[in-house]
């Protein structure tokens, strides 16, 4: 049967600005890949991320460069050599998983010999704002089991305390998005302990995180920007306790599962994360989330309108997409 690949840019407006230490965004720009073979259609989504030198145009060009190979029958393992880790490979890889499930009449869960994704606790993000505004945002979702608190290096202590006061029972992940240096982290140690923070995510720049080796942050430290694929793990020894597995960083579900397995083999904790995205990015990530200690898949929560049949948030509990949305025949 003839196989065809198409890729397009889609934009999803956000209902609220998403502010982190390196900037603010008002829309999610994604690249959607569709692979058709006979009557079967597989879909995947990638989110180009400027932090990693990606753009919509660049990702579309990467996909166009391998379209002929994929249309000629190249599979997921071959794709690992055709494209580097990133949003382009993620979109194509996930579309191939979806297509394989539909052609074979077996779900991705069955292909992985694992249970179908179920309802799971997933962090809701409190973005950077004034401490009073962050407290109000936290109070609105205070019953959620897990919150992620975005901070910078200006006044993180007040921001964290404001959220903790408004949400006394939620577990907290604090994410400075690479904005702290060693002095900042040292000054924040007692605050993190006082606020009962469960995880500190990527406090230092990935290009200058050597000081984390042997550093006592008072709480477990998670690598995000410092780890993309399994090959990166050797450089994390002594610096991080947990790794954040994101399909857009790893370049698809195939490489993300490899990273998760390799991290567990090293005795590291796992977190599953995402970019601000639609549910088409989240559905594949649920297969990594099922084996993770922390889950942060609230990308679609920020959209004014998600894809039909996508995942749903229920007070910080993530419900899987409708049957047949992705990865099921």
What's the farthest any 2 CA atoms get from each other in the chain? 62
Determine the pLDDT at residue 22.
80
What are the residue boundaries of the structural domains of the chain, listed by start?
3-105, 120-319
Q: Which residues contact 148 (CB under 8 A, 6 or more apart)?
A: 123, 124, 125, 126, 172, 173, 174, 175, 201, 296, 298
Three-class SS of residue 192?
Answer: helix
Respond yes or no: is residue 150 known to be catalytic: yes
Q: Which residue from 53, 87, 83, 21 is spatially nearest to 277, judged by alpha carbons?
A: 87
Report domain 120-319's class.
Answer: alpha beta
pLDDT of residue 19: 87
Q: Is 246 labeled as catalytic in the residue annotation?
A: yes
Distance CA 191, CA 180 (A): 14
**CA dihedral of 83, 48, 55, 71, whole degrees rounded to 10:** 40
The answer to whether domain 3-105 has CATH 3.30.390.10 is: yes
DSSP class of residue 295 equals E
Catalytic residue from among 25, 148, 150, 249 = 150
Q: Which pLDDT score is estimated for 23?
A: 84
Active-site choice (25, 148, 246, 249):
246
H helices present in the chain, as ranges: 56-71, 76-82, 87-104, 108-111, 131-140, 156-166, 182-194, 247-250, 253-265, 279-289
pLDDT at residue 167, rounded to an integer: 98
The model's pTM is: 0.96
Report the C-alpha gap between 182 and 201 in whole angstroms: 14
Contact 317, 285 (CB under 8 A): no
Return the structure tokens found at 261: 């397995």
Low-confidence spans in the chain with pLDDT less than 50 = none
Closest of 2, 7, 62, 64 to residue 30, by C-alpha = 7
pLDDT of 37 reads 98
């Amino acid at each position: 049967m003839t196989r065809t690949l198409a890729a397009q840019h889609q934009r999803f407006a956000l209902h609220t600005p998403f502010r982190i230490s390196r900037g603010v965004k008002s829309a999610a720009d994604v690249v959607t890949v569709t692979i058709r073979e006979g009557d079967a259609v597989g879909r995947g989504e990638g989110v180009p991320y400027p932090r990693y030198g990606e753009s919509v145009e660049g990702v579309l060009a990467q996909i166009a460069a391998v379209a002929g190979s994929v249309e000629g029958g190249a599979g997921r393992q071959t794709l690992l050599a055709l494209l580097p880790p990133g949003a382009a490979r993620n979109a194509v890889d996930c579309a191939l998983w979806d297509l394989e499930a539909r052609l074979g009449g077996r779900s991705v869960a069955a292909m992985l010999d694992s249970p179908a994704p179920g309802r799971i606790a997933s962090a809701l993000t409190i973005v950077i704002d004034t401490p009073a505004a962050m407290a109000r945002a936290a109070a609105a979702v205070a019953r959620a089991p897990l919150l992620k608190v975005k901070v910078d290096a200006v006044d993180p202590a007040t921001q964290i305390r404001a959220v903790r006061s408004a949400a006394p029972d939620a577990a907290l992940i604090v994410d400075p998005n690479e904005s702290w240096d060693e002095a900042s982290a040292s000054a924040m140690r007692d605050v993190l302990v006082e606020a009962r923070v469960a995880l500190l995510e990527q406090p230092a720049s990935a290009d200058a995180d050597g000081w984390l080796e042997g550093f006592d942050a008072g709480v477990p430290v998670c690598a995000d920007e410092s780890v993309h694929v399994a090959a990166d793990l050797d450089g994390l020894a002594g610096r991080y306790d947990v790794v954040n597995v994101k399909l857009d960083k790893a370049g698809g579900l195939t490489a993300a599962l490899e990273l998760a397995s390799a991290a567990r083999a090293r005795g590291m904790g796992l977190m599953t994360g995402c970019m601000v995205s639609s549910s088409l990015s989240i559905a594949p990530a649920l297969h990594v989330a099922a084996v993770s200690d922390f889950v942060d898949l609230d990308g679609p929560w920020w959209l004014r309108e998600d894809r039909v049949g996508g995942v749903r948030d229920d007070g910080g509990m993530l419900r899987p997409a409708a049957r047949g949305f992705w990865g099921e025949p």
